[in-house]
Amino acid sequence: MRVVADIPHPDIKITLLAWNGKYLLKLELGPFEQTYKVSEMEVTGGDDEVKTWLDEEFLQGSIELFLAMRKNLHEARRRHD
């Protein structure tokens, strides 16, 4: 696995990786992680194209998913305490 880029963001750690013919777009916030895998064959513009996908709408949706993940885990733990 090769790190292609660490992409700065004030709230989310964003890493673009290349592995086994795929780009992996890894987002981390606290203990939670989201990974998006895309075949390199589907990306004609290389890693620069992948970086353009990180627009405000995508990042806001990702933050909402992180919040949903946190809520889901919190509720599961509460049900079993």
**What is the predicted pLDDT for the residue at 34?**
98
Mean pLDDT of the residues in the chain = 96
**What is the predicted pLDDT for the residue at 2?**
97
pLDDT tens-digit profile of 2-53? Answer: 999 999 999 999 999 999 999 999 999 999 999 999 999 999 999 999 999 9
Amino acid at the residue 45:
G
| 10 closest CA partner among 68, 69, 76, 54 | 54
Across 1-81, the runs of DSSP E, i.e. the strands, are 2-7, 13-19, 22-29, 32-39
Tell me the domain boundaries of the chain: 2-79
Which of the four pLDDT bands, split at 50, 70 and 90, describes residue 73?
A: very high
Determine how many CB atoms are found less than 10 A away from the CB of residue 39: 10
Is the separation of the CB atoms in 5 and 54 below 8 Å?
no
Amino acid at the residue 38:
V
pLDDT tens-digit profile of 34-48? Answer: 999 999 999 999 999
The percentage of the chain sitting over the pLDDT mark of 90, rounded to a whole number, equals: 99
